[in-house]
Amino acid sequence: MSVAVADARIATVSPASAERGRQARRVRRWKSVGAAGIAVLLLIWTLVPIYNIVMVALESKGDVFTNTIWPDAPSLDSFWIVITQGYWYLEHFWEQFGNSLYIGVGTVFFTLAIGSLASFAIGRMRIRYGWLLSNAALLTYVIPASFLAIPFYRIMQIYGLTDNLWSVIAAEVTFATPYAIFIFHQYGVSIPIELDEAARIDGASPGQVYWKIYLPLMAPALVAVGTYALLLAWNEYLYQFLLLSSKESMSVPVALAQFFNSDEAPWNYMMATAIVYSIPPVAIYYTFRRRMAAGLTMGGVKG
C-alpha cells in the first residue's frame, strides 16, 4: 500500500519535476550566456581607454597622429626615456615621482592621525560637543573640492605655503579626514566599549587607551582609509596644479600637464609617464583590496 502510494507520488511528480529541471537548466544556460555577454561588454568598456594609453606609449613620436589602431613598430623606447629622464620635460621625473610619494605618504599619515584622534574623542570619550565636530566633518565631506580651490589657493599664499608640498598635503588631508572620521566612527562601534572601561579602571590614561587598545583594534579601518587617502592624493590634479609650480616641487600629474604647454607634444612620452605613475596606486589597491573591502563593509547597510 504504502509502497504503491509512494510509487504513485513519484509517478505523478516526476514528469513535472523533469520538465521543471529542464526549464531551470535552460534558464541557467541563458543566464550564463547573458552573464558572459555582460562580462565581454564590461571588459571592452573598461579596457578601451586603457588600451589607448598603452598604444600611444608604445608608438614612436610621429605615429601618434597616424591612422593605425596598433603601432606599426611597437617599442618600449618611451618607457626608457621616462626612466632615464631622457626628455626635457622629464628631467626631474624621479624627483617629481618622489614628490608625489611624499604627498601621498604625508596625506595618509596625517589623515589617519588626525582622523583617528578626533574619532576617538568623539566616539570613545564622548566629549560633549562631539556632535558639532562630526557635523563639521560632514560639512567638509560634502563641499566639492574644486569649489574651494580658488580661495584655498590664496589662503596658501597668506600662509606662505605656495609652491610647497605641504600646501598640497594640507589640501588632501582636509578632504580625506572627514571620510576617515566617518569610517573610524562606524568601525569603532563594533569594538566593545568594555575594553576601554577595563583599561581605565586599571589606571590607563586616555592616551594609553588610544594607543594600546583603540589603534590596534582599528587596524582594518586604518588600512581601508589609508588606501583611500593615498588614492585620493594620487588621483587629485586641480590642487596640485594650482599649488605647485616649479619643476622641482611639481608632482607627476602637474608635470604631465606640462606637455600641454608646448607646441611640441611628445605624447608617447606623456602616456609612458602616465603608466609608470599608475603603477603604485594600482598595486597598492590590489594589495589591500580585501582589507579595504572589509573596512568598507563594516557597518554596510544598517536600516
Partner 1 sequence: MIELNRRSVLRGAVGWAAAGTIASPFIAHAQAKTATVLWVQGFVKEEDEAFKNLVAAYEKASGNKIQASIIPFGPAMQKIVAGLTSGDTPDVMFHDIADQAVVPQNTWNDKLIDVSDVVETQKDHFHPTALLASKYYNNVTKQRGYTYVPLKAAVLPIHVWGSMVEKAGFKLSDAPKNWDAFWDFFKPMQKKLREKQRGVYVHGLQPTTNGPADGNNTFHHFLIANGGNGIVTPDGQPHLDDPQVKEAVIKALTYISTSYKEGYVPPGALSWSDADDNNAFHAKQIVMDLDGTISTEVAMYHEKEKYNDVVTMKLPNDNAGQPMKAELGIAGAFIAKTAKNVPVAKDFLKYAIQPEVVNTYLKTGLGRWLPPMPEVVKKDPFWLKEDPHRTAYTTEALIDPTVPNYPCFNPGYAEVNAQQVWGIAVADIVKEGMTAQAAADKALKRIGTVLAKYPVAKA
Partner 2 sequence: MTTQTLDAGQPLVRRRPLRLTWRGGLQGSEYAWAIAFTLPYIGLFLAFVAYPVAFGAWLGHEPSLYAELAEDPIYQRTIVNTILYVGIAVNLKMFGALLLSGFFMRPGWWVKALLLVFVLPWAMPALPAFISIHWMLNGQWGLLNNFLWNVFGFDGPGWLDTSRWLALGWVILSHIWKWMPFWTVILLAGRMAIPQDLYEAAEVDGATGLTRFTHVTFPLLANLYLVCTLLSTIFTLGDFNSVYFVSGGGPALSTHVLATLGIRDAFEVARPDLGVAAVLSSLPLMIPLVLILMRKLRTTEVTL
Q: Where are the beta strands (DSSP E) in the chain?
A: none
Q: CB 65 → partner 1: shortest distance, Å?
A: 3
Cell 589603534 maps to which residue? 215
Residue number, 61 or 200, with CB nearest to partner 1: 61
Q: Which is nearer to partner 1, 45 or 260 (CB)?
A: 260
Question: What minimum distance in Å lies between the beta carbon of 162 and partner 1?
Answer: 8
- Residue 91 is given by DSSP the state T
Would you say 179 and 141 are in contact if contact means Cβ atoms under 8 Å apart? Answer: yes
Q: Closest approach of Cβ 244 to partner 1, in Å? A: 8
d(CA 27, CA 31) in angstroms, rounded, equals 6
Number of C-beta neighbours around residue 299 at 10 A: 14
Smaller CB distance to partner 2: residue 119 or 249? 119
Which three-class secondary structure state does DSSP give residue 58? Answer: helix
Q: Which is nearer to partner 2, 56 or 249 (CB)?
A: 56
Please, are residues 271 and 178 in contact by the beta-carbon 8 Å criterion? no
State the Cα–Cα distance between residues 284 and 277, nearest whole angstrom: 12
Among partner 2, partner 1, none, the one that 126 touches (CB under a kind-dependent 5 to 8 A) is partner 2
Residue 92 binds which one of partner 2, partner 1, none, with CB within 5 to 8 A depending on kind? none
From the list partner 2, partner 1, none, which binds 143 (C-beta under 5 to 8 Å, kind-based)?
Answer: partner 2
Instruction: Give the nearer residue to partner 1 in terms of CB position, either 136 or 257.
Output: 257
User: From the CB of 267, what's the least distance to partner 1, in Å?
Assistant: 8
- Residues 6 or more apart whose CB falls under 8 angstroms from that of 18 comprise none
Q: Which does 120 bind (CB under 5 to 8 A by kind): partner 1, partner 2, none?
A: partner 2
CA distance 39 to 158: 52
Residue 69: name the closest of 55, 87, 58 by CA.
55
| Cα separation, 109 vs 113, whole angstroms | 6
Which one of partner 1, partner 2, none interacts with residue 81, CB within 5 to 8 A by kind? none
Q: Which residues bind partner 1 (CB under 8 A)?
A: 62, 64-67, 88, 153-154, 157-158, 162-163, 241-242, 245-247, 254, 257-258, 260-265
- Out of partner 1, partner 2, none, what residue 88 binds, judged by CB under 5 to 8 A for its kind, is partner 1
Least Cα distance to 61 among 297, 261, 266 occurs for 266
Question: Of 137 and 242, which CB lies nearer to partner 1 in the complex structure?
Answer: 242
